[in-house]
Amino acid sequence: MYYHDKRLQYPVRVESPDPVFARMLQQAIGGVEGEIRVCMQYFFQAWGARGPTTKYRDMLLHTATEEIGHIEMLATAVAMNLETAPTKVQEAGAADKVVGAVMGGENPRHMVEGMLHRHILSTGMAAFPANCEGVPFDMSHIYASGNLAADMYCNVAAEATGRTLAVRLSNATNDPGMKDMLHFMIARDTMHQEQWLAVIEELGGPAGALPIPNSFPQSEEHQKFNYNFFATARDGTPPPAGRWTSGPSLDGKGEFSVVQNEPMGEEPVLGPARPDSGAQNEQIG
């Protein structure tokens, strides 16, 4: 059960509406780095959480609900940036020099005309659950494995890419209100990265959580290979030395080493094609 408050989680101000920036903000809503992604990821992780303690489920629910507020802020920002956009797409370039530059091909990534069509015709100058190219968010990047440690690492990655996007958006605007909103969201991304890593620490840190799942008995692994870095240069050139090439493994259960990768199996030989498979006669043999 959820409750709502009509007030925004953090103020959203736009001093100079910019339809191009509205399109860019769509990536933070429905892109693979966006707020719909982390919101749904945390909800489904929480709804499927199992274990003797409910504190991780509760924590995920709190943060997932917070992310709804971030989606609301961004959707509001998109709508406010579209306030001065023309209601006729053909007038967009003339009405806004920046939009005109984008339509003329000066922007290396984005073309704004198609997005203006969508904002005008489908949403009435409002945000929608899609990325900056207009591709609807399809939930394909939601990671909820049922393994707490695996999910926490996925969450760190999600917040890291989200924070990177928010930083890029901040660098792309000169609007003080938009920068203020984004800097709030960047701060929350910082907290969430720390939050998920704190769960890993509670689970014993990498030594306790790794390998994931730690419930599988390592005695059943092929232990000859579980801490080897496979070097795959054809001429046998060793890889540059790194933390992963020598010394104790992060879980403290082994030693890293470098092994030149060599074939351990044989060339596969498949049987002939079946007569009813639609293959050529030469394949059926």
From the first residue on, what is the mean pLDDT of each consecutive set of 10 residues in the chain (285 residues)? Answer: 94 95 96 97 97 94 97 97 72 47 42 62 79 91 96 98 97 97 98 97 92 94 94 92 96 95 94 94 89
Q: How far apart are CA 225 and CA 227, in angstroms?
A: 6
Q: What is the pLDDT of residue 91?
A: 55
Helix 148-171 and helix 19-30: axis angle, to 10°?
170
106 is in an annotated binding site: no
Residue 67, annotated as binding a ligand: yes
- 10 Å CB burial of residue 197 (0-12, 13-18, 19+) is middle
Say whether 58 counts as a known binding-site residue: yes
> What does the pLDDT read at residue 222?
93
Which H or E element spans position 103?
Answer: helix 97-103
Cis (ω within 30 of 0) for the bond into 211? yes
User: Which tokens in the block code for residue 170?
Assistant: 């901040």
Task: Tell me the CA distances in angstroms from 274 to 239, 268, 269, 281, 285, one per residue in order.
Answer: 45, 18, 15, 10, 9
Q: Which residues contact 182 (CB under 8 A, 6 or more apart)?
A: 166, 169, 170, 173
* pLDDT recorded at residue 94: 44
Q: Is 159 annotated as a binding residue?
A: yes
| Cβ 74 vs Cβ 35: under 8 Å | yes
Per-residue model confidence (pLDDT) at position 231: 95
Tokens of 18: 């910019």
Looking at residue 40, its pLDDT comes to 98
Q: Which two tokens stand for residue 258?
A: 């470098």
Confirm or deny that 4 is annotated as ligand binding: no
Residue 107: how many other CB atoms lie within 10 Å:
15
Q: Is 192 annotated as a binding residue?
A: yes
DSSP element (H, E) containing 153? helix 148-171
* pLDDT of 116: 65
Which pairs count as long-range contacts for 224-227, CB under 8 Å and 24+ apart, including other chains?
A: 225/259, 226/254, 227/254, 227/255, 227/256, 227/257
Backbone phi, then psi, for 158, in 5-degree steps?
-65, -45
Predicted local distance difference test score (pLDDT) of residue 175: 97
Handedness of CA 145, 149, 150, 155 (dihedral sign): positive
Tell which residue, 214, 205, 249, has the closest CA to residue 229: 249
